[in-house]
A and B are shown apart, each in its own frame.
Chain A
């Protein structure tokens, strides 16, 4: 591995090529030439011995030269969605941008894109350019349906569809893909939208205890006792049904509310 070494005092003089592994050494001018000759001779010796070794083994593997990067042949008006159709890591020879990323060592500049690990580590959105997003959405639009135009406001929604069912879905990577909170179902309904008379309404509020909110006139039923979301939803609807019919029934002891 070659490293360029410059002594600040000798910056006007030529640089030294040394085959030392990433060790920065400050060499005086008098010793420079002798060391360089020494190093060159040793490096020459090593290459010769390596070549001899390879020759003794038999096959000589010629190292394939890397061709010019693909960015040289790219035009300005190319189809970028063909270069990055799906999520892929950052390839410096494929992205024609002069991107730099990393910490500027010794008041220098951030390192260039070639062989840059920081650029490869971070998730890139090169496959999700606005053009690509528009193409995807155009293909997906056929599966979408329109919201009914008659239900433009929240009041109309609440009037025709008074029951609100809330559930959660989770997407994350970890030891397990499942999240136990995904089975919880919350059912909210306004008592004014149910068919209740005076006695039934008071009995319903008495039965619900803390699940009823007086300010918003909302009954909230949260179910998490079943393992599946569908089961919890069915249980919540069952609870609502039971509450409703029980509140209409007048007990043989007439309790005054």
Chain B
């Protein structure tokens, strides 16, 4: 069973921050409901972030790891794959002067955060929180690996012994 309430419906924006938080809590407590369908199970949740500024990604990684710890999710690793650089050589002048070029480069830094063994509702909450606080100029890719049971129709073969051989 998983709670079926979106955060968006619970947010009310008026008054001071503390009053808003109290209101949210009362709203949430009254609105949390359990759905009949079973919760999904994610064996691994990989969050990859890419940006042009390394310090922004540093701060974001701190926020993501702290949020995972606070929500009770198991953080597997938070590493920094090597940056990717795109280099470009253009002519310096508008007309002629082929010997004089100017070189530009675009650096893309990245981070990789892996969270293991998350339930579907926890993953939804965590990802929505993370994505709403994604800073400007940063792109994110989430790779979800869910674990599922073998469906009912694959348990036994369709044919019995006499029908299998024509």
Contact = CB atoms under 8 A, between A and B. Distances in A.
Nearest to B16: A82
A256 interface: no
Q: Which secondary structure dominates chain A's binding surface? A: mixed
A164 to B, nearest CB: 6
A87 B159 CA distance: 61
B153 to A, nearest CB: 6
Given A123-B136, A142-B29, A168-B142, A147 B151 contact: no
Q: Which secondary structure dominates chain B's binding surface? A: mixed
Contacts of B126: 144
B117 interface: yes
Nearest to A186: B145
B43 to A, nearest CB: 6
A138 to B, nearest CB: 8
Given A145-B3, A169-B144, A81 B53 contact: no
A248 B164 contact: yes
Contacts of A194: 150, 154
A137 B67 CA distance: 7
A221 B92 CA distance: 50
Interface string A131-153: 00111111111111111100100
Contacts of B142: 168-171
Nearest to B129: A140
A147 to B, nearest CB: 5
Given A122-B53, A140-B71, A145-B39, A200 B157 contact: yes
Interface string A119-136: 000110100101001111
Interface residues of B, number: 68
B75 interface: no
A252 B39 contact: no
Contacts of B140: 170-172
Contacts of A82: 16-18
A214 interface: no
A224 B14 CA distance: 45
A161 interface: yes
A154 interface: yes
B63 A147 contact: no
Contact of A140 (B17, B119, B125, B138): B125
B117 A147 contact: yes
5 contacts: A144-B121, A161-B148, A162-B149, A166-B145, A241-B151
Given A122-B56, A136-B129, A245-B157, 4 more contacts: A130-B66, A135-B21, A141-B72, A195-B154
